[in-house]
């Protein structure tokens, strides 16, 4: 997988319910956001997911997608956060 | 590729441990604004500041949104105004006009503070320097966002005691002018020894004359992150303690480096430095004093505090230096009283005194910071405290500073509210014995010898 450039990390954290991934992925598909990788665990009933996505062909600007995903999270009852990947790369890689 | 654990660690720092970028400070040179006509000078300054900084606030918000990292303050530092206004200003009131222009410009570009209403007088004062200093009470009283600083001493030149004496009086006058608001204007005034040219933190930020036309400096923070990391190594050896602080400081600073590079790219302004500082706020879990307690003290101020702080400060620098391409500014742990809940608790418990704080400033940046003292403290005593702090910086070849707030009408036992990030402070007692005859002497203390170190 290509490293670095313009990738975004979407994190979803909250109480586990049916259809969290489906709803998030539907939003991403509708907005031409390509999912590159997904990792997910459930700890003590808490859903914890990280997606690496490519937003280069997204139909909306980053800020709008970020806000809409946050809103979608509120509807599902989870916290959804969008961040450019560099912040994690910088902090955890020399 | 980053993994889930790393992503969660970073986000926990941001969400639960108050990791933030404390300030993006845009340094702007005003040297090309100089004009002998005051009106034209003011126009030039307003034009330059509002042009260079027009995108600062929006770029800051964009970076905040894309990385989900809070950037608490966007600020501006300008060339010391005593240099810029010298040709045009014939009176202290003329200088105060420039302060008002800076205030308007800061509001126009939506930054919360603008620093650089400053004079550098470590060896002597020009007529303009003295006029600027005398205008400080008016300037701070009649503006909201302007910050002022005066460099009174340096290792190379010694201490300008005439300026130290004058600053004692100016500080009291500034307090008097804002006495109906608990003398809050004094928060916007700081005096330095060895003031750095690239400090991004207020109230002492100014854009030094050795700097380029415009530059981005960043101040990072994260006492809560260090505290949380240390909770996991409770009771371990000093080696483990120090390694933990270093690794944490590295991570915190890397975020600052990223934000600095992004801001520089988006604003088309070169990146200057990152200031590796642990800057506390009154928020719970954002305290440097709490780190000292985690290291093993009952309260900050207990025996061992200076050693613990020295260790903390040094490890923060060691971890941070590798994380950033350029480091500068004040770089170290800040120990303001009012802005740190743990420090306030120490004062209230009677664990810390002004004298202990003074000792602590020998081993950390930056100095006696945000300390409320009784409003009836004599000007000469204030000058005496300032002179002591300047001497520490001068002899130890480090930056030291004093930001004292003599609160008119209040005394030991009272508390003052400064609001927001500035917090609140119990009034601390000042040694009652006089230094009047010492302060009344004219001239300056010579620079110290740099050999025979003891």
Contact B404, B368 (CB under 8 A): yes
Q: What is the C-alpha to C-alpha distance for residues B204 and B115, in angstroms, rounded to an integer?
A: 7
Q: Which residues of A14-42 are buried (b: 16+ CB within 10 A; e: fewer)?
A: beeeeebeebbeebbeebebeeeebeeee
Distances (CA, A) of B39 to B33, B42, B46, B98, B103: 11, 5, 11, 9, 16
Q: For chain A, what is the radius of gyration of the CA atoms?
A: 13
Q: What is the C-alpha to C-alpha distance for residues B160 and B101, in angstroms, rounded to an integer?
A: 29
- Residue B179 in contact with partner chain A when CB distance is under 8 A: no
Which residues of chain A make contact with B1, given a CB cutoff of 8 A? Answer: 1, 3, 37, 52
pTM above 0.80, yes or no: yes
Q: What is the C-alpha to C-alpha distance for residues A26 and A21, in angstroms, rounded to an integer?
A: 8
Contact A89 B251 (CB under 8 A): no
Q: What is the C-alpha to C-alpha distance for residues B249 and B220, in angstroms, rounded to an integer?
A: 10
Q: Sort strands B71-78 and B20-28 into parallel, antiparallel or unpaired.
A: parallel
Provide the residue-wise pLDDT of chain B in tens; the chain has 454 residues: 888 989 999 999 998 888 999 999 999 999 999 999 999 999 999 999 999 999 999 999 999 999 999 999 999 999 999 999 999 999 999 999 999 999 999 999 999 999 999 999 999 999 999 999 999 999 999 999 999 999 999 999 999 999 999 999 999 999 999 999 999 999 999 999 999 999 999 999 999 999 999 999 999 888 999 999 999 999 999 999 999 999 999 999 999 999 999 999 999 999 999 998 888 888 888 899 999 999 999 999 999 999 999 999 999 999 999 999 999 988 888 898 988 999 999 999 999 999 999 999 999 878 899 999 999 999 999 999 999 999 999 999 999 999 999 999 999 999 998 877 778 899 999 999 999 999 999 999 999 998 877 6
Which residues of chain B make contact with A85, given a CB cutoff of 8 A? Answer: 2
Contact B66 A84 (CB under 8 A): yes
Contact B67 A11 (CB under 8 A): no
Instruction: Report whether the peptide linkage leading into residue B366 is cis, meaning its omega lies within 30 degrees of zero.
Output: yes
Q: What is the C-alpha to C-alpha distance for residues B385 and B382, in angstroms, rounded to an integer?
A: 5
Contact B4 A50 (CB under 8 A): yes
| Torsion angle of the four alpha carbons B48, B94, B25, B69, in this order, in degrees rounded to the nearest 10 | -100
H or E stretch covering A6? none
Looking at the complex, report in whole angstroms how far the Cα of residue B63 sits from the nearest Cα belonging to chain A. 10
Contact B2 A83 (CB under 8 A): no
Q: Which of B57, B188, B162 is nearest to B383 (CA)?
A: B162
Give the chain B residue whose CA is nearest to the CA of A94.
Answer: B323
The gap between the terminal CA atoms of chain A, to the nearest Å, is: 19
**Backbone torsion region of residue B66, taken as left when φ is above 0, otherwise alpha when ψ lies between -120 and 50, otherwise beta:** alpha
Which residues of chain B make contact with A62, given a CB cutoff of 8 A? Answer: 65-66
Contact A84 B10 (CB under 8 A): no
CB-nearest to A11 from B11, B65, B69 is B11
Size of interface A-B (CB pairs under 8 A): 63
Looking at the complex, report in whole angstroms how far the Cα of residue A90 sits from the nearest Cα belonging to chain B. 6
Which of A10, A11, A87, A94 should be substituted to probe chain B, the one whose Cβ sees the most B Cβ atoms within 10 Å? A87
Q: Quick check: A3 pLDDT over 50?
A: no
Contact A37 B1 (CB under 8 A): yes
Q: What is the C-alpha to C-alpha distance for residues B350 and B302, in angstroms, rounded to an integer?
A: 10
Residues, chain A: 94
């Amino acid at each position: 997988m290509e490293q670095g450039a313009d990738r975004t990390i979407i994190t979803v954290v909250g109480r586990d319910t049916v259809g969290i991934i489906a709803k998030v992925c539907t939003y991403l598909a509708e907005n031409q956001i390509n999912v590159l990788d997904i990792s997910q665990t459930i700890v003590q009933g808490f859903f914890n997911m990280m997606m690496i996505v490519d937003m280069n062909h997204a139909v909306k600007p980053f800020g709008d997608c970020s806000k809409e995903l946050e809103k979608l999270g509120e509807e599902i009852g989870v916290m959804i956060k969008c961040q450019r990947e560099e912040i994690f790369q910088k902090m955890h890689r020399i | 590729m980053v993994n889930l654990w790393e992503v969660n660690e970073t986000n926990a720092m941001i969400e639960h441990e108050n990791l933030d970028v404390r300030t993006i400070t845009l340094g702007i040179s005003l040297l090309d604004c100089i004009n002998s006509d005051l009106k034209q000078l003011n126009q030039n300054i307003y034009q330059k500041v509002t042009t260079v900084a027009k995108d600062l606030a929006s770029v800051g918000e964009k970076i905040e949104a894309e990385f989900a990292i809070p950037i608490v303050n966007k600020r501006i530092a300008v060339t010391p105004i005593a240099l810029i206004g010298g040709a045009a200003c014939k009176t202290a009131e003329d200088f105060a006009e420039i302060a008002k222009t800076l205030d308007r410009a800061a509001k126009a570009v939506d930054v919360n503070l603008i620093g650089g209403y400053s004079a550098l007088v470590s060896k002597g004062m020009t007529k303009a320097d003295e006029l600027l200093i005398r205008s400080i009470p008016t300037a701070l009283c009649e503006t909201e966002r302007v910050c002022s600083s005066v460099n009174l001493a340096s290792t190379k030149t010694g201490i300008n005691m005439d300026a130290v004496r004058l600053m004692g009086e100016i500080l009291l006058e500034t307090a008097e002018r804002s006495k109906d608001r608990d003398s809050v204007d004094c928060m916007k005034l700081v005096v330095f020894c060895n003031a750095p040219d690239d400090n991004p933190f207020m109230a002492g930020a100014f854009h030094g004359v050795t700097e380029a036309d415009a530059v981005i400096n960043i101040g990072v923070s994260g006492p809560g992150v260090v505290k949380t990391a240390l909770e996991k190594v409770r009771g371990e050896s000093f080696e483990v303690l120090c390694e933990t602080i270093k690794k944490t400081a590295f991570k915190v600073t890397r975020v600052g480096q990223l934000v600095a590079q992004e801001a520089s790219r988006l604003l088309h302004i070169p990146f200057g430095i990152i200031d590796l500082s642990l800057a506390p706020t009154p928020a719970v879990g954002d305290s440097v004093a709490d780190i000292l307690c985690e290291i093993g003290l009952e309260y900050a101020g207990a025996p061992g505090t200076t050693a613990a702080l020295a260790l903390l400060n040094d490890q923060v620098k060691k971890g941070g230096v590798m994380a950033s391409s350029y480091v500068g500014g004040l770089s170290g742990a800040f120990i303001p009283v009012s802005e740190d809940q743990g420090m306030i608790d120490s004062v209230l418990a009677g664990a810390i005194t002004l004298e202990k704080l003074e000792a602590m400033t020998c081993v950390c940046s930056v100095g006696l910071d945000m300390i409320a003292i009784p409003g009836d403290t004599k000007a000469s005593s204030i000058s005496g405290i300032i002179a002591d702090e300047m001497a520490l910086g001068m002899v130890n070849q480090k930056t030291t500073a004093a930001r004292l707030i003599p609160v008119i009408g209040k005394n030991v036992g009272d508390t003052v509210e400064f609001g927001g990030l500035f917090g609140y402070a119990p009034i601390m007692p000042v040694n009652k014995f006089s230094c009047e005859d010492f302060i009344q002497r004219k001239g300056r203390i010579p620079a110290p010898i740099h050999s025979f170190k003891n």
